Structure 1
Amino acid sequence: MAAVPSAQAADPDPAAKKKQLDSQIGQQKADLDDASDQLGKSVAAYNQAVVKLQAVQARYAVAQGKLAAAQAADAVAAGKLAAAEAALKVAVADVEAGEKLIAEKRSVAGRAVRSAYQQQNSLVGLSIVLRGAQPADIATGMQVQRNVFGIQGNAITALNDAQAELSSKRVKVAAAETDAAAARAAAARTVQAVTELTKQVAADKAEAAAVTAVKLTAFKAAEKEKNSELAQYNSLLRERSRVEQILIARARAEKAAAARRKAAEEKAEREKARREHRPPRNIPEPSDGGLSYPVSSYITSPYGMRFHPVLHYWKLHDGTDFRAPCGTPVRAAADGVVTDKYYNGGYGNRLFISHGVMDGDSITTVYNHLSRYKAHVGERVSRGEIIAWSGTTGYSTGCHLHFMVYQDGRVVNPMKWL
Structure 2
Amino acid sequence: MTTMEPALARRRAALGPARMVGGVLALGLAISLLTGAPDARADNLDDQQAALQAESDRVQASLEFVDSGIAKAAGDLVIYQGRLPGAQQALLEAQGKVASAVKDVDALAARVELAQQNKATITSQLESDKQKITDTKKLIGQIASQAYKSGGVPTNVALLFGSNETGSLTESMDLADQAMRSQNAAMTKLTQQNATNVNSQARLAAVEQEIQDLKAKADAALEREKAARDDAASKKADVDKLIDDTTRLNGQLQAAKPGIEANLAKVKAAQDSVAAEIQDRDRKLREAWEAEQRRLAEQAAAAAQAAAAAQGRPAPPQAPYVAPPAGSPSAFGLIHPFAGQVPITSGFGWRATPPGTIDFYGTGGYLHTGIDFGVACGTPVYAAAAGTVFNSGWNSADGGGWRVKLSHGVIQGNSLTTIYYHNSSIVVANGQQVAQGQLIAYSGSTGNSTGCHAHFETWLNGVAVDPMTLL
Residue 40 (structure 2) pairs with residue 29 (structure 1): no
Paired positions, count: 351
Residue 195 of structure 1 corresponds to which residue in structure 2? 215
| Stretches of structure 2 lacking an aligned partner (at least 5 in a row) | 1-33, 58-74, 158-165, 254-259, 307-317, 356-366
| Structure 2 residue identity aligned to 1:386 | L
State, as a whole percentage, how many aligned pairs show the same letter. 16
5 Å-filtered alignment, 1:9-408, equals 20-22=36-38, 26=42, 27-30=44-47, 31=50, 61=100, 68=107, 74=112, 77-78=115-116, 80-81=118-119, 84-85=122-123, 87-95=125-133, 98=136, 113=155, 147=167, 149-150=169-170, 152-215=172-235, 244-254=271-281, 257=284, 290=332, 292-293=334-335, 295=337, 297-301=339-343, 318-319=370-371, 321=373, 326-331=378-383, 333-342=385-394, 349-355=401-407, 358=410, 363-376=416-429, 378-384=430-436, 385-391=438-444, 394-396=449-451, 401-407=454-460
Q: 1:180 to 1:305 in 2, by over 3 A?
A: farther
- Secondary structure of the residue aligned to 1:113 is coil
- The alpha carbon displacement at 1:185 in A equals 1.6
Deviates more, 1:359-368 or 1:258-267: 258-267
In structure 2, distance between residues paired with 1:90 and 1:298:
92
Residue 465 of structure 2 corresponds to which residue in structure 1? 412
In structure 2, distance between residues paired with 1:330 and 1:373:
11
- Secondary structure of the residue aligned to 2:231 is helix
- The alpha carbon displacement at 1:353 in A equals 0.9
- The alpha carbon displacement at 1:364 in A equals 3.1
- Secondary structure of the residue aligned to 1:147 is coil
In structure 2, distance between residues paired with 1:213 and 1:242:
51
In structure 2, distance between residues paired with 1:193 and 1:64:
18
- The alpha carbon displacement at 1:373 in A equals 1.4
Contact 2:286–2:410 (CA under 8 A) maintained in structure 1? no
Q: 1:217 to 1:370 in 2, by over 3 A?
A: farther
Residue 13 of structure 1 corresponds to which residue in structure 2? none
Q: 1:306 to 1:19 in 2, by over 3 A?
A: farther
- Secondary structure of the residue aligned to 2:342 is strand
In structure 2, distance between residues paired with 1:286 and 1:95:
119
Contact 1:299–1:321 (CA under 8 A) maintained in structure 2? no
Q: 1:155 to 1:405 in 2, by over 3 A?
A: same
| Structure 1 residue identity aligned to 2:187 | S
- The alpha carbon displacement at 1:336 in A equals 3.0
Contact 1:364–1:405 (CA under 8 A) maintained in structure 2? yes
Contact 2:389–2:433 (CA under 8 A) maintained in structure 1? yes
| Structure 1 residue identity aligned to 2:276 | A
Deviates more, 1:74-83 or 1:264-273: 264-273
- Secondary structure of the residue aligned to 2:46 is coil
Contact 1:63–1:200 (CA under 8 A) maintained in structure 2? no
Tell me how large the CA RMSD over aligned residues is.
6.1
- The alpha carbon displacement at 1:190 in A equals 2.1
| Structure 1 residue identity aligned to 2:46 | K
Contact 1:95–1:166 (CA under 8 A) maintained in structure 2? no
Q: 1:270 to 1:21 in 2, by over 3 A?
A: closer
Q: 1:306 to 1:56 in 2, by over 3 A?
A: farther
Higher RCO by CA contacts (8 Å cutoff, separation 6 or greater): 1
TM, length-normalised to structure 1: 0.56
Contact 2:400–2:421 (CA under 8 A) maintained in structure 1? yes
TM, length-normalised to structure 2: 0.51
- Secondary structure of the residue aligned to 2:167 is helix
Contact 1:320–1:414 (CA under 8 A) maintained in structure 2? no
- The alpha carbon displacement at 1:197 in A equals 1.6
